[in-house]
Structure 1
Amino acid sequence: MTAKPPTVRRRRLAAELRRLRKAAELSHEEVTERTGISRTTLYRIESARVTPQPRTVIAILDTYRVGDADRSEILELAKGADTPGWLRPYHSDLREQLTAYIAFEAEASGVRNYQSLFIPGLLQTERYARAVIPGVWPSATTKDIDQHVQARMERQALLTKDDPLDFTVVIDEAALRRCVGGPAVMVEQMQRLQVVADQPHIDVQIIPYEVGAHPGMQGSFSLLSFPDADADEIVYIEGMARDVFLESEADISLYTDTFSALRALALSPDDSLSLIATAMQDLRRGEETA
C-alpha cells in the first residue's frame, strides 16, 4: 500500500516540533534518552512521515518545556493532523495570521505567486509595506504595523541566502499603477522590482491592462513547492476573513494550470521590465506636475 502524502497540518506539526527541539537545543539522541522515543520515530515525526500519538506529543512537549500557548496550538495541530485542507482564522496577532505560511515559505524550494493588486510581500520595500498594511487594515495599531513590516522584511532573506528560493511572480499592471504611499514610494518600489528581476532565481512578469479579463481576476494566490520528493505542493490564499491552505490533487492542478495561463498572458520578463520603467516614468511626471 502506498503511504498517503502528509497533509498540510501534519507538515505544520512536523515543522513546529523541529523548531521547538532546536529552540530547546536538544539533539535527536538527547530527546531519545529523555523520552524513550526512538530516533527513527523522531525523524519520521519531524519529516511529517507519520502522525504521532497524543501521548508522544505530550512527552515531547514536556521535554522541550513548552509553554501553555504553544502547547495548546501543537496539540490542536496533532489532533487534526490527518485531516486534509486547512482554514486559519484571520486575527490581529501575527502568530495567528501569518506564522503557518511563513514557516512553509521558509521550507519551500520554490514559490509561484500571482498578485492582482499588490506588489508581492517578498519584493516590497519597507516604505511600500508601511503604506500598504494600514491601507488594507484600517484598525492596525503602530505595533501591528511594525510587527508585520518586520516580518515581511525578514522573509526577504529567503531571496538572498546561499541557496535562495526560486521565486516566480506574475503581477497585474494594476499593482504598478495604484499609487500606494505616494509617487516617491512607488518610484522606489519600481526600482526595487527592476533590481530583483535581474536575479537568476527571480522571474517577474506583468499582465498589462490590454489583456482584458483573465483568470487571475478572481484573486491572488501562491503555490509552494518543497525539496522533499514526498512533499506535495500547497496552495495558499490569504483572505480578509480566513487564510486558506489547499492540498488536494484537484486544487493543485487547478491553480498550477491557472498560473501557467497567467504566465502565458503576461509580458515576457524583458517586456515586463519595460512596462515597469514606463510606470516609473509616469509616476515621476506626475510628481513634476503635482
Structure 2
Amino acid sequence: MPTARLRRLARTLRGLRNERGLTREEVAARTSVNEATLYRLETAKGRPQRRTLLTLLDTYDVDSDKREAILALSTQAAEQGWLRPYHADLRDEYVGYISFEIEARSVRNYESLVVPGLLQTERYAQAAIRGVLPTATATKVDQRVLARMERQTSFTNDPPLELWAIVDEAALRRLVGGPDVMIEQLNHLAEMSTRPYVTLQVIPYTAGSHSGMHGSFVLMDFPDPDDPELVYIESMAGDLFLETDEDIRRYNQIFDHLRAVALSPGNSANLITAVAREIA
C-alpha cells in the first residue's frame, strides 16, 4: 500500500543507484537482489526487507549517517497507524489516497458533480455514496462515510491541511439527499469557506466550457521537499496516481485555468448562499 514515505524511500534507492552509474541489471549481478525486486523497490510497489536494504546500501557505498536515516525511513514506511479495521473493506487505491492525504501539506481539488469529500456533511456523504454504490450494503456505505468523515480531521492538525477546492455550479444544484440535506450542505460550505485554511471557488454556468469538463482530480503536495506532488484521479475505470513531471505540470496548468475562470472566493460564497435560499 503506497505512502509518501514509501515513495521517498523508493526515490532514494533509485537516486543512489543512479549516482553510482549502475543499471538494475548490474546491481542484480553484484548482489542477490534480482531486477524484478529492484524495480518494485524503486517504484514504491514494495518495501525492502532489512537484509535486502543493507545489501543495497553496501553496494552503493552509503556512509553511516545516511545509512541510519534510510533505515529509519524504511521503518517509518511500514507504519500505518492511521489504519482502522473498517479500512479493510475499502479499495486499496482509496486507502492509499487516504495515506497520502494524511501526510499532505495541501490539497487542490476540482469537482464537477459533487461537493469535495473534505467538505461534505455526514448526511450528504451518506446520500452521495449510496447513490454512487446502489448495490452496496448499509454496512459498507456506513464504513465509507466514516472514512470520509475521518479524513476531515486533517483540518485539526497543527498546522492544518490547506485545501483549495474548485467546484462546478452543478455540484451545488444537484439535490443529493433531497432539499434538507442539500441546504445543510450548502450552509456548511459557506461556513467552511470562511476558514483560513480553506479556499473555495465556484465555476458558474455562465463561464461556459472550461478545462475541467473532462473530470475531477486532486493535486497534493507534501511538507518534505523530497516528496514531489501527486495527482489522483478517481473514475469508474479505476483510480490513478500520476507523478511524472509532465503530468504534474499539466494538472497544475489545468488548475490554474480553473482558478481563473471561477468566481472569486467572496462571490463564490454569495452564489452558494443564493442557491441555498433558492432551494429553501
Normalised by the shorter chain, which TM-score bucket? Answer: 0.7 to 0.9
CA deviation profile, 1:262-284 (whole Å, cap 9, x unmatched): 00000000000000011001100
Aligned to 2:92: 96
Provide TM-score, normalisation by structure 2. 0.73
Contact kept in structure 2, 1:167 and 1:202, CA below 8 Å: yes
Q: CA deviation at 1:159?
A: 1.2
Q: Alpha carbons of 1:46 and 1:111: their partners in 2 closer, same or farther (altered >3 Å)?
A: farther
**Superposition pairs for residues 1-290 of structure 1, below 5 Å?**
10=44, 39-46=68-75, 93-284=89-280
Paired amino acid for 2:195? Q
Select the structure with the greater relative contact order (CA < 8 A; seq sep ≥ 6). Answer: 1
Q: CA RMSD in A?
A: 2.7
Q: CA deviation at 1:43?
A: 2.0
Question: Mind listing any 5+ residue stretches in structure 1 that lack a counterpart?
Answer: 18-37, 49-59, 62-91, 285-290
Secondary structure class of the residue paired with 1:10: coil
Distance in 2 (CA, whole Å) between partners of 1:276 and 1:192 is: 10
CA deviation profile, 1:196-217 (whole Å, cap 9, x unmatched): 1101110000000000111100
Contact kept in structure 2, 1:8 and 1:247, CA below 8 Å: no
Contact kept in structure 2, 1:12 and 1:100, CA below 8 Å: no
Paired amino acid for 2:69? T
The size of the alignment, in residue pairs, is 220
Q: CA deviation at 1:164?
A: 0.4
Q: CA deviation at 1:182?
A: 0.4
Paired amino acid for 1:263? R
Aligned to 1:87: none
Q: CA deviation at 1:143?
A: 1.0
Secondary structure class of the residue paired with 1:139: coil
Question: Mind listing any 5+ residue stretches in structure 2 that lack a counterpart?
Answer: 1-10, 17-40, 51-66, 80-87
Q: CA deviation at 1:8?
A: 9.6
Following TM superposition, where does structure 1 have runs of at least 4 consecutive aligned residues deviating by more than 6 angstroms? Answer: 5-8
Distance in 2 (CA, whole Å) between partners of 1:101 and 1:160 is: 19
Q: CA deviation at 1:240?
A: 1.1
Paired amino acid for 1:45? S
Q: CA deviation at 1:161?
A: 2.3
Contact kept in structure 2, 1:5 and 1:230, CA below 8 Å: no
Secondary structure class of the residue paired with 1:167: strand
Distance in 2 (CA, whole Å) between partners of 1:12 and 1:200 is: 38
Distance in 2 (CA, whole Å) between partners of 1:172 and 1:105 is: 22
CA deviation profile, 1:154-200 (whole Å, cap 9, x unmatched): 10001122210010000000000000000000000011101111011
Distance in 2 (CA, whole Å) between partners of 1:8 and 1:191 is: 46
Distance in 1 (CA, whole Å) between partners of 2:15 and 2:264 is: 35
Secondary structure class of the residue paired with 2:134: coil
CA deviation profile, 1:69-88 (whole Å, cap 9, x unmatched): xxxxxxxxxxxxxxxxxxxx
Q: Alpha carbons of 1:189 and 1:256: their partners in 2 closer, same or farther (altered >3 Å)?
A: same
Provide TM-score, normalisation by structure 1. 0.70
Distance in 2 (CA, whole Å) between partners of 1:185 and 1:177 is: 12
Q: Alpha carbons of 1:233 and 1:5: their partners in 2 closer, same or farther (altered >3 Å)?
A: farther
CA deviation profile, 1:31-80 (whole Å, cap 9, x unmatched): xxxxxxx74342242577xxxxxxxxxxx89xxxxxxxxxxxxxxxxxxx
